[in-house]
Amino acid sequence: MNRLQDVLKTARAENRAVLIGYLPAGFPTVDGSIDAMRAMVEGGCDVIEVGLPYSDPAMDGPVIQAAADQALARGTSTPDVIRAAGAVADTGAAALIMSYWNPIEHYGVDRFASELAAVGGSGVITPDLIPEEAGPWIEATDKHDIGRVFLVAPSSTPERIALTAAACSGFVYAGAVMGVTGARDQVGHAARDLVERTKQATGQPVCVGLGVSTGDQAAEIAAYADGVIVGSAFVRRLLDNRDPRRGVDAVRELAAELAEGVRRGSKAR
């Protein structure tokens, strides 16, 4: 069992949802992003998604685009991202990489999975890869015991949910809304409905992301999902606090607020 599966299993035994925080590696710098991710773990994140900054983030809203742009402008590379994942794994949290498909394919699927495993990483989220296109990736991740996370969406049919969930190893990522990343005032009913539909198809954990930014939203989701995923809100804290120390403090505080929300919501199950 890899770290990701371990973390999810422990949380399930405690009857609580996990908190998953996202930050692009290399923003504001590679070391700065590592400091911020460590603070997210200290604040209460169980799992960190280390974002691989990409030139064409067609599924990201303006906040993550801005961060990825800055990270790329500073020359952040795939080995930097893997190094950041290793630093997260050293804290004891589960370290995942979130990446658009081309950087992984171009690096070499086997090389990517094996290098991530070597630094203690335990999973990869691929938002623009569907299982039908994932043959070699499934092979590589199985070989290196790296969790695979594909997404389901409110528009997914029952057949596609079943097919997608069956290809995941770790958890299923339920996109709460139809749209790109970015904080939203309301996460809405679509997420709850999607989690229910996904749970009918799989025994794997189902985690909800897209749009979540506050402790109250985290509580609402933790009442029915196995995990709460927060991205843009963390990035926003770093964008708003140009002083690196204040930025790190701000993400730690947000993680604590969200972790409290997750625990509160989990009790209401």
Partner 1 sequence: MTDPRAEIISAYAATAAMPDDTGHFPTDNALFGGRFMPEALMAVLKELTEAYEVSKTDPAFHQEFADLLLHYANRPSLLTEAHNLSARVGARILLKREDLNHTGSHKINNVLGQALLAKRMGKTRVIAETGAGQHGVATATAAALLGLDCVVYMGAEDTRRQALNVARMRMLGAEVVPVAIGSQTLKDAINEALRDWVASADTTYYALGTAAGPHPFPAMVRDFARVIGVEARRQTLELTGGLPDAVCACVGGGSNAIGMFHAFVPDESVRLYGFEAGGSGVASGLHAASITGGSVGVLHGTRTYLLQDQYGQTQESHSISAGLDYPAVGPEHAYLHATGRGRYEPVDDAEAMDAFRALCETEGIIPAIESAHALAGALRIAPQLAAELGREPVIVVNLSGRGDKDMHTAAAYFGVDFIDNGHSEGGEQ
Using rule CB under 8 A, residue 204 touches partner 1: no
Using rule CB under 8 A, residue 235 touches partner 1: no
**Beta strands 147-149 and 206-209: pairing type?**
unpaired
Find out whether 268 and 219 touch, Cβ atoms under 8 Å. yes
Q: Which residues pair with residue 175 across a beta bridge?
A: 209
- Segment interacting with partner 1, rule: CB under 8 A, options 24-32, 56-64, 89-97, 216-224: 56-64
Work out how close the CB of 183 gets to partner 1 at its nearest, in angstroms, rounded to a whole number.
15
Looking at beta carbons only, is 68 or 222 nearer to partner 1?
68
Selected from 78, 169, 204, 213, the binder of partner 1 by CB under 8 A is 78
- Tally the residues of the chain: 269
List the structure tokens of 181. Answer: 């990343």
Using rule CB under 8 A, residue 205 touches partner 1: no
- Segment interacting with partner 1, rule: CB under 8 A, options 43-51, 72-80, 113-121, 245-253: 72-80
Work out how close the CB of 62 gets to partner 1 at its nearest, in angstroms, rounded to a whole number.
8
User: CA nearest 171: which of 236, 222, 125?
Assistant: 125
Catalytic site positions: 49, 60
Looking at beta carbons only, is 167 or 262 nearer to partner 1?
167
Q: Which of residues 90-119 bind partner 1 (CB under 8 A)?
A: 101-107
Looking at beta carbons only, is 76 or 122 nearer to partner 1?
76
Find out whether 179 and 150 touch, Cβ atoms under 8 Å. no
Cα separation, 228 vs 258, whole angstroms:
9
Work out how close the CB of 121 gets to partner 1 at its nearest, in angstroms, rounded to a whole number.
17
Looking at beta carbons only, is 102 or 186 nearer to partner 1?
102
Selected from 95, 116, 146, 180, the binder of partner 1 by CB under 8 A is 180
- Segment interacting with partner 1, rule: CB under 8 A, options 19-27, 31-39, 64-72, 233-241: 64-72
Q: Give 217's contacts (C-beta < 8 A, 6+ positions apart).
A: 187, 211, 228, 261
Cα separation, 177 vs 24, whole angstroms:
21
Amino acid at 71: A
Using rule CB under 8 A, residue 120 touches partner 1: no
Cα separation, 164 vs 199, whole angstroms:
12
Work out how close the CB of 132 gets to partner 1 at its nearest, in angstroms, rounded to a whole number.
7
Looking at beta carbons only, is 10 or 102 nearer to partner 1?
102
**Alpha helix stretches (DSSP H) within 91-147:** 101-107, 109-118, 135-143
Cα separation, 201 vs 187, whole angstroms:
22
What does DSSP assign to residue 130? -
Using rule CB under 8 A, residue 22 touches partner 1: no
Work out how close the CB of 90 gets to partner 1 at its nearest, in angstroms, rounded to a whole number.
24
Give how far Cα 237 sits from Cα of 36, 44, 243, 254, Å: 10, 16, 11, 8
Q: Which residues are near partner 1 by CB under 8 A? A: 54-59, 61, 65, 69, 72, 77-78, 101-107, 127-130, 132-133, 150-157, 160, 164, 175, 177-180
